[in-house]
């Protein structure tokens, strides 16, 4: 008896193991994927969605990718310039030591070509960057830039999840069970192999349909070794007729997910414009501070020369000792200003490197030619002022009591971006993506009111089910006859469920809140509209002020240079005090710095205006394409 029991037991275990193996093979053959394949499929799906929505959102073909090579410029600088790092994470996730059971060995492979590979790091030398270099490097290395792209990608994944609710969902399961029953005088050993396959579908009108098929095989390994095949099928249907019915109600989450992808793309485009202007602003600010270092250095040398001159004149008895002390104090202040300018430049440079995603301790400098080109137009302006000054010197001076007429700022010499304020506001409201998003969100709020109102009503659902065949889910059914699928012997039922709207407190509160949120959405549009108008007005005012300041500072530099030359000659002739020369040198330094600041301010204001108008286009590399102001002016007229 024991030998027979052991034989039956081993036979049952073997058959059970065989059944589990067969089930595993069936599941694997059904399309199971490893984590790498799942990631790749998610990426492909998201990319397809983004390519689909890019044209709808921005009116041009394109997509958003979040993969970036490990060999970005940041990492290359850390490695090639031997900079301080805290550990593997400083260089990238592909440098991390894989923990136990890491699922995706191909994740973040480093074989992608770097978009900033055009930047060559000279061995043992300082890396020099132009503004165009900085824009492209920031788009690839900035953490904020990467975060924005990942937000867009995440919305695409969320949309895929919402779309999945309306796809046909297949599910399968296989199971092998062995049963040993020692109750009573006889030991009963048997196995049950079962497999199920089901499909479900949700439709846009709210109807849900499901169907399933189950196959069972029950075997007895003792007694008569009987076996029986089970075969069963079922189907269900549910159709909402009142509350929760209608395409606009059922697909609300899907509709919002579709729009969220558009919003995310608009947010990213707005961020790219703001980021590009911020990079340009900081880049020019660094060069402005570098120019201030040069001016401070030349002023320091000039003051040193003045202090030496004062010492010689004092030794010759032509200058008082107090004037020598003043010159010495001015020399100390000039040195302090020079050191302060260098520190300010270095701090701003380090901050700029962090802005574009590079290590602040990297050996980098910016191309001063960009500032030279920016200030170059002031040279022609300088020549005009000198010619005008020479012409006026030939005219007799007006008496002090002559009538004084003040020339108010005009648009006679206005730049191409000094647009009419009303026209500029119209452009901004028509082109700003962040404002367009707020306008569209009013429609979102209106839809939510409709959905909330629908939930206040009664619920009426029509349902039905069908079942036929029979299962063999236990060892005890092994002695039964094989089951057959016969539709004429099935069990069918229908049901109509009515849920009366007696208790709708939470729905009532939700409906009232939806109306409040609609009002908030409307106020957000109004507030942003006013903010845009104010921003346009302030930026145009900044443009006009920067242009006038540019003219004033150009004249101030001319006068300050002439004053330094004149006072120097008068000092040598004993007709001026040392204080006059020191003040003239300070005024020259201030005028030189003011001229550079005015040129930078005007250029940055132009870029900010284009950003505020929504007209500054930034491509996937981070490079901008400015609009043509001539076309805007023509349209304005």
Query: CA–CA separation, 433 vs 440, rounded Å?
Result: 10
Residue 478 clears pLDDT 80, i.e. is over it: no
pLDDT computed for residue 21 by the predictor: 42
Q: Is the dihedral of CA 247, 253, 254, 256 positive or negative?
A: positive
Place of tokens 């229908």: 494
- 115 pLDDT band (50/70/90 cuts)? low
Distance (Å) of CA 287 to CA 131, 333, 369: 11, 23, 9
Residue 578 confidence (pLDDT): 82
Q: What is the pLDDT of residue 310?
A: 85
Q: What is the tens place of the pLDDT at every residue in 143-168?
A: 999 999 999 999 999 999 999 999 99
Separation CA 134–CA 82 (nearest Å) = 21
630 pLDDT band, cuts 50/70/90, is low
Q: What is the pLDDT of residue 6?
A: 43
Provide the pLDDT for residue 447: 96
Rounded Cα–Cα distance for residues 502 and 460 (Å): 14
Question: How high is the pLDDT of residue 304?
Answer: 93
Q: What is the pLDDT of residue 65?
A: 87
Report pLDDT for 486.
79
Q: Is the pLDDT of residue 628 over 90?
A: no
Most confident of the ranges 56-70, 99-113, 396-410, 513-527: 513-527
- Whole-number pLDDT of residue 445: 97
Of the listed ranges 50-54, 185-189, 322-326, 425-429, the one predicted with least confidence: 185-189
- Rounded to an integer, the average pLDDT of 491-512 is 93
Q: DSSP letters of 440-476?
A: HHHHHHHHHHHHHHHTTS-EEEEEEEEEEEE---SGG
Gyration radius of the chain's alpha carbons: 40
Say how far residue 239 (Cα) sits from the centre of its chain.
42
Going by pLDDT thresholds of 50, 70 and 90, the confidence category of residue 4 is: very low
- For residue 596, the Cα-to-chain-centroid distance in whole angstroms is 33
DSSP output for 65-124: -----S--HHHHHHHHTT----SGGGT-GGGSPPPTT-S-TTTT-S-SPPTTTT----TT
Cβ(198)–Cβ(210) below 8 Å:
yes
So what's the pLDDT on residue 436?
Answer: 96
pLDDT for 479 equals: 66
pTM tops 0.75: yes
Average confidence score pLDDT of the chain: 86
Mean pLDDT is lowest, of 24-28, 366-370, 454-458, for 24-28
Average pLDDT over residues 381-396: 69
Domain boundaries, the chain: 2-30+167-202+207-243+459-503
- Output DSSP code: residue 213: E
Are the C-beta atoms of residues 91 and 85 closer than 8 Å to each other? yes
Instruction: Please choose, from the candidates 56, 119, 80, 77, the residue with its C-alpha nearest in 3D space to the C-alpha of residue 440.
Output: 56
Q: Does 20 score more than 80 pLDDT?
A: no
Percent of the chain with pLDDT over 70: 90
**Average of pLDDT values for 93-119?**
76
pLDDT value, residue 393:
60
Model confidence at 16, in pLDDT bands (50, 70, 90)? very low
**How many other C-beta atoms can be found within 10 angstroms of the C-beta atom of residue 500?**
10
Most confident of 240-249, 475-484, 556-565: 240-249
Q: How many residues does the chain have?
A: 637
Token pair belonging to 400: 């002090």
The closest of 137, 200, 207, 191 to 168, measured between CA atoms, is 200
The answer to whether 616 and 273 are in contact (CB under 8 A) is yes
Q: How confident is the model at residue 438 (pLDDT cuts 50, 70, 90)?
A: very high
d(CA 130, CA 168): 54
Supply the DSSP symbol for 126. Answer: P
Query: What is the 3-class SS of 217-238, one letter each residue?
Result: EEEECCCCCCEEEEEEEEEEEE
pLDDT tens digits for range 358-370: 999 999 999 999 9
Q: Quick one: what percent of the chain has pLDDT higher than 90?
A: 49
Q: What is the pLDDT of residue 318?
A: 81
Q: Residue 470: which residues within 8 A CB-CB, separation 6 or more?
A: 230, 231, 232, 483
pLDDT digits (tens, 9 = 90+) for 235-293: 999 999 999 999 999 999 999 999 999 999 999 999 999 999 999 999 999 999 999 99
How are beta strands 364-366 and 127-129 bridged, if at all? parallel
Please give the structure tokens belonging to residue 82.
């031997």
258 near 156, Cβ under 8 Å? no
In this prediction, residue 12 carries a pLDDT of 44
Q: What is the pLDDT of residue 108?
A: 64
What confidence score (pLDDT) does residue 206 get? Answer: 93
């Amino acid at each position: 008896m024991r030998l027979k029991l052991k034989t039956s037991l081993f036979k049952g275990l073997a058959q059970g193991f065989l059944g589990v193996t067969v089930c595993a093979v069936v599941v694997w053959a059904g399309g199971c994927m490893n984590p790498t394949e799942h990631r790749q499929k998610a990426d492909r799906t998201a990319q397809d969605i983004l390519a689909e929505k890019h044209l709808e959102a921005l009116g041009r073909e394109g997509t958003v990718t979040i993969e970036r090579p490990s060999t970005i410029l940041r990492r290359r600088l850390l490695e090639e310039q031997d900079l301080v790092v805290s550990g593997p994470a400083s260089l990238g996730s592909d440098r991390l030591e894989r923990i136990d059971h890491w699922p995706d060995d191909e994740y973040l492979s480093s074989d992608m070509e770097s978009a900033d590979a055009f930047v060559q790091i000279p061995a043992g030398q300082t890396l020099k960057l132009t503004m165009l270099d900085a824009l492209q490097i920031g788009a690839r290395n900035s953490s904020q830039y990467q975060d924005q792209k990942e937000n867009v990608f995440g919305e695409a994944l969320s949309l895929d999840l919402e779309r999945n609710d309306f796809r046909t969902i297949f599910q399968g399961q296989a199971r092998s069970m062995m049963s040993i029953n020692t109750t009573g005088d006889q030991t009963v050993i048997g196995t049950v192999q079962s497999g199920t396959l089901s499909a479900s579908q949700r439709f846009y009108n709210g109807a849900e349909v499901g169907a399933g098929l189950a196959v069972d095989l029950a075997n007895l390994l003792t007694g008569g070794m009987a076996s029986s095949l089970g075969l069963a099928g079922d189907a269900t249907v549910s159709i909402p007729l009142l509350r929760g019915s209608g395409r606009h109600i059922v697909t609300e989450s899907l509709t919002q997910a579709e729009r969220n992808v558009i919003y995310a793309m608009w947010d990213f485009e707005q961020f790219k414009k703001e980021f590009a202007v911020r990079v340009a602003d900081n880049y020019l600010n660094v060069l402005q501070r570098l120019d201030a270092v040069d001016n401070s250095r030349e002023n320091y040398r000039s003051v040193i020369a003045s202090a030496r001159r004062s010492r010689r004149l004092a030794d010759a008895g032509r200058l008082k000792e107090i004037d020598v002390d003043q010159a010495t104090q001015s020399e100390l202040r000039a040195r302090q200003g020079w050191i302060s300018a260098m520190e300010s430049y270095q701090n701003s440079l380090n901050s700029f490197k962090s802005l574009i995603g590079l290590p602040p301790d990297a050996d980098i400098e910016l191309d001063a030619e960009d500032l030279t080109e920016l200030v170059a137009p002031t040279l022609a302006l300088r020549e005009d002022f000198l010619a005008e000054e020479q012409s006026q010197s030939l005219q007799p001076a007006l008496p002090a009591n002559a009538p004084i007429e003040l020339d108010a700022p005009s648009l006679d010499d206005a730049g191409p971006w000094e647009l009419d304020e009303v026209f500029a506001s119209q452009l901004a409201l028509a082109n700003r993506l962040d404002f367009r998003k707020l306008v569209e969100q009013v429609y979102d709020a209106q839809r939510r009111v409709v959905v909330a109102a629908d939930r206040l009503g009664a619920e009426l659902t029509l349902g039905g089910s069908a079942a036929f065949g029979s299962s063999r889910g236990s060892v005890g059914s092994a002695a039964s006859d094989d089951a057959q699928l016969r539709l004429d012997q099935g069990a069918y039922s229908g049901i109509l469920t009515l849920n009366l709207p007696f208790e709708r407190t939470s729905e009532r509160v939700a409906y009232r809140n939806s109306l409040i949120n609609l009002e908030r959405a409307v106020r957000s549009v109004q507030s942003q509209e006013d903010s845009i108008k104010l921003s346009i007005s302030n930026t145009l005012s900044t443009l006009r002020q920067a242009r006038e300041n540019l003219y004033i500072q150009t004249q101030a530099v001319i006068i300050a240079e002439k004053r330094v030359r004149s006072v120097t000659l008068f000092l040598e002739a004993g007709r001026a005090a040392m204080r006059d020369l020191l003040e003239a040198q300070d005024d020259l330094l201030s005028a030189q710095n003011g001229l550079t600041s005015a040129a930078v301010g005007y250029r940055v204001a132009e870029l900010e205006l284009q950003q505020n108008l929504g007209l500054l286009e930034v491509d996937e590399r981070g490079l901008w394409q400015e609009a043509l102001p001539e076309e805007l002016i023509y349209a304005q007229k």
